[in-house]
């Protein structure tokens, strides 16, 4: 059985895919919890890796937080970039893997809206999160070339799975509490990926490497997802409000500051579609993603 080193396994992604990976790999983990095989903060230290691994899945990262201070911004670079450098330094001493798979993000494109954005789009992301991921991608590209390691970079969209964070998690919590609202029918589309698809992709990436957007082919609307969530939770259909009402609420939110549930910036993101093309991964890897509306279970 091949040996797999998994960084960030104690997070959301690890919770959803580690049991699947353990069917095919001897999985060892690096992270911050007592459950990890190597407990260390790779943002600050080079991990003591004493075993050679066939595959490395590097998913440790900082996300889902809007930084307010320079110190908070720096954490993204410490974790996402310096953590990658420290990991590679350890791998140089332990022996290079055959393949390294890096979990990046579609945020590297810097797009607030758009349809079927593919891998040829410039990397214009300017948030600390996006910049740190771009830096990590660039570093890994050169490091893997220098050390003859096959590199695969995955740029997932919004991830769906048990205990999902981010916007999807906020939707689930809102529906549970009965105050989630769809705006103008919830017709906006956002690319989503079932987290377990990362595990399904890994054997394919081992052989081919490459850079891929990964998301569901259906590109479901927020209205469709919210209806599915509400049905599973036994809750009523989410409230639908017209755009003009949401616009008025957003203007009030602008006056209230960051604690407001909605402002004009959030409204724009909630009412403009942002989808990505998975054509390269489907054609190049022979992969078909799981349908989110069918497979996303609360």
Angstrom CA distances, 128 to 51, 75, 119, 133, stand at: 33, 9, 20, 8
178 pLDDT exceeds 90? no
Our CA dihedral for 217, 279, 290, 202, rounded to 10 degrees, sits at -160
1 pLDDT exceeds 80? yes
**DSSP 8-state class, residue 79:** I
How does pLDDT run across 204-238, given as a tens digit for each residue? 999 999 999 999 999 999 899 999 999 999 998 88
Residues 6+ away with beta carbon under 8 Å from 125: 107, 108, 109, 110, 131, 133, 134
How does pLDDT run across 23-75, given as a tens digit for each residue? 999 999 999 999 999 999 999 999 999 999 999 999 999 887 777 889 989 99
Q: Which residue has the higher pLDDT, 147 or 177?
A: 147
- pTM attached to this predicted model: 0.92
Q: Is the CATH code 3.40.50.12280 the one for domain 2-161+193-216+275-291?
A: no
Q: Count of CB atoms within 10 A of residue 82's CB?
A: 18
């Amino acid at each position: 059985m091949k040996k797999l080193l998994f960084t960030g396994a104690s997070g959301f992604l690890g919770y959803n895919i580690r049991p699947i990976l353990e069917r095919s790999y001897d999985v060892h983990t690096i992270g911050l919890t007592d459950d990890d095989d190597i407990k260390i903060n790779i943002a600050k230290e080079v991990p003591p890796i004493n075993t050679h691994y066939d595959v490395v899945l590097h998913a440790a990262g900082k996300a889902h937080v809007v930084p307010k201070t320079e110190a908070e911004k720096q954490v993204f670079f410490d974790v996402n970039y310096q953590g990658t450098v420290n990991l590679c330094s350890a791998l140089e001493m332990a022996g290079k893997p055959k393949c390294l798979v890096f979990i990046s993000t579609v945020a590297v494109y810097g797009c607030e809206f758009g349809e079927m954005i593919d891998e040829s789009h410039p990397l214009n992301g300017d948030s600390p999160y996006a910049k740190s991921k771009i830096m990590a991608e660039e570093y890994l590209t050169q490091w893997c070339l220098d050390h003859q390691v096959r590199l695969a970079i995955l740029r997932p969209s919004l991830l769906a799975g048990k205990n999902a964070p981010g916007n999807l998690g906020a939707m689930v919590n809102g529906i549970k509490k009965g105050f989630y609202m769809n705006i103008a029918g919830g017709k906006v589309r956002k690319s989503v990926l079932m987290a377990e698809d990362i595990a399904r992709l890994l054997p394919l990436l081992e052989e081919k490497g490459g850079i891929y957007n990964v998301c569901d082919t259906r590109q479901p609307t927020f209205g469709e997802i919210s209806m599915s969530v509400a049905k599973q939770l036994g809750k009523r259909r989410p409230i639908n409000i017209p755009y003009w009402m949401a616009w008025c609420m957003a203007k009030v939110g602008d006056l209230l500051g960051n604690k407001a549930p909605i402002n004009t910036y959030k409204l724009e993101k909630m009412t403009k579609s942002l989808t990505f093309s998975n054509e390269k991964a489907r054609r190049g890897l022979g992969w078909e993603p799981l349908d989110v509306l069918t497979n996303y279970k609360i």
